[in-house]
Chains A and B, each alone.
Chain A
Amino acid sequence: MPDVQAATANLIPRLRICHGRGGSLPHRSTPPFLLCGSAVLLAVLLSILFAFPAGAQAPPNEEVKPVPLLTGSTGFITTFDGGEPHLHPIVTPLVLVPIGGRWIFETRATFETDMVQLPGRSAFHGTVAKEFEYVQLDFIANPYITVTVGRFLTPFGIFNERLYPVWIRNLQSDPLILPIGIGPSNASTGVMLRGGFRADPKFNINYAVYFSVLSTASPVNSDRFAGGRLGIFVPAARLEIGGSFQHGLQDERSNAFGFHALWQPPILPLDIRSEYARSIVGRGYWVEAAYRLSQVPFLQNELRRAQVVARMQQFFAGENASDALLPMNTKQFEFGLNYYFIDGLKASSSYGRQFSTDGNKNVWTMSLTYRFVVPLGHARSE
């Protein structure tokens, strides 16, 4: 039933289905523990290498001593997908442990379920899926370089790494092209160098380069690939544009690339985001605009908390099939309304219409999401 799985992967946006890759392992695959060991060794060497030039500089001037945090988000998402109701509770805890002045350990897990009504049975049923999305150790070597080792979100495009949490995203459904370039479980296992710095008084540059090893241990599986992302951010215009590239080091050794853009016009509470991605499994784009009604001259107390959102996206299936992507060309338009009750608590609703050769359908979504922050220590005293 690959078609059903592929369709479900996009229609049930939050639930990630991690498929073992045992059947398609390349003959030259190296045991994961050896590759992990190599990656750790490389990371340690890089850390030492970059720590020496950093030693001449003052450590980050964090006058306040940071405290470990338990943060994350929780949500309850209801979807009517082609008339079929799905109930989708999700909890995503994130633990942040700063170590000294330059290190931070971070890990995020997801507990979620997609409950549906099964034929012949009453009520909704589903199983809880548990996944460690990332477990990584970051070393801020100097103002230009941060070294990350472990399992990290693949920095391909912007959605997976920066917009994925339910309290951040403007529409609760995933973009159709999200699975392109991010690996089998949205993450990579290996080493990454990244950073952001002011290259010119008028713009900043941010970058990430990474190498991921093959891991078949579901649900923390990852592919063997290398890639990078480069972005330019112009603070005065509040515009960021960038591109991503990835080269597979297994199976077909194919390439993937993408572009992204974010723009917030300084005089308007408007967010415009867009991504394009292309690989052998497919290509497509999404464009999203979100307008906060804070400048509307009436009902200001109510409307300043409201936000209207619209997203247009299109996906073109590629020559190679992927379980995580739709098997056919698809076009989807969505619009919705978000309401921010307080900081971190948001209610969302949206309507979308999906057009594909497999048939057209409506997708309704309603959700309530909350972002929590719990300090694991004294938050105010130093």
Chain B
Amino acid sequence: MKWRYILLCMVGVTAGLTFSAIAQERANSTASSSAEAPAPTQGMPAAPPSAMAKSAADGAENGAQRLEGEKRFRTNCGRCHQTPHKFPPRVMATAIRHMRVRAMITDEDMRLILRYMTQ
């Protein structure tokens, strides 16, 4: 009987936490989708269209790599331990090489995580 009660309590707590988590996720996604886009800066000199396009492309690529790096960081590092804060770049370079051996993360993951963690 004790085990039944323990199991029932665990199931109840888990169900409650799951529902609250889903509700929280929905609230967050609604808030982020309804957020306004940043207004264009006024009073700044206009850059040439080609330079603007290049810098926009670079920015988009950096942003995409950063997002991918963060995603890989959370996916790989979080498998075993709480994701750590950022360390100085040279420390991260050693740690990521160690984790490449220990956690057997892939070469691509290592590069993206290192880039994200050292930016």
Contact = CB atoms under 8 A, between A and B. Distances in A.
Nearest to A139: B101
Contacts of B25: 267, 295
A255 to B, nearest CB: 24
Contact of A140 (B13, B72, B100, B108): B100
Contacts of B6: 333
Contacts of A269: 21
A24 to B, nearest CB: 32
B5 to A, nearest CB: 12
A296 interface: yes
**Contact count band on A:** 35 or more
Contacts of A344: 84
A373 B106 contact: no
Given A66-B97, A98-B97, A297 B20 contact: yes
A63 B79 CA distance: 25
Contact of A66 (B10, B93, B104): B93
- If over half of B's interface residues share one DSSP class (helix, strand or loop), that class is named, otherwise mixed; here it is helix
Interface in B79-113: 79-82, 84-85, 87-98, 100-111
Contacts of A381: 90
A114 to B, nearest CB: 25
A68 interface: yes
Nearest to A308: B13
Contacts of A231: 104
Contacts of B81: 167-168
B17 to A, nearest CB: 6
A71 to B, nearest CB: 8
Contacts of A197: 106-107
Given A62-B97, A104-B101, A373-B87, A204 B106 contact: yes
22 contacts: A62-B93, A65-B90, A66-B97, A69-B91, A71-B95, A161-B102, A162-B103, A167-B81, A195-B104, A204-B106, A206-B104, A233-B79, A267-B21, A267-B25, A291-B17, A333-B6, A343-B82, A373-B87, A373-B95, A377-B90, A380-B89, A382-B89
Given A140-B100, A162-B80, A162-B103, 6 more contacts: A62-B97, A63-B115, A71-B95, A140-B101, A196-B100, A295-B17
10 cross-chain pairs, A with B, having the tightest CB-CB distances, nearest first: A196-B104, A66-B93, A143-B107, A379-B88, A206-B104, A295-B21, A66-B94, A67-B90, A64-B89, A343-B85
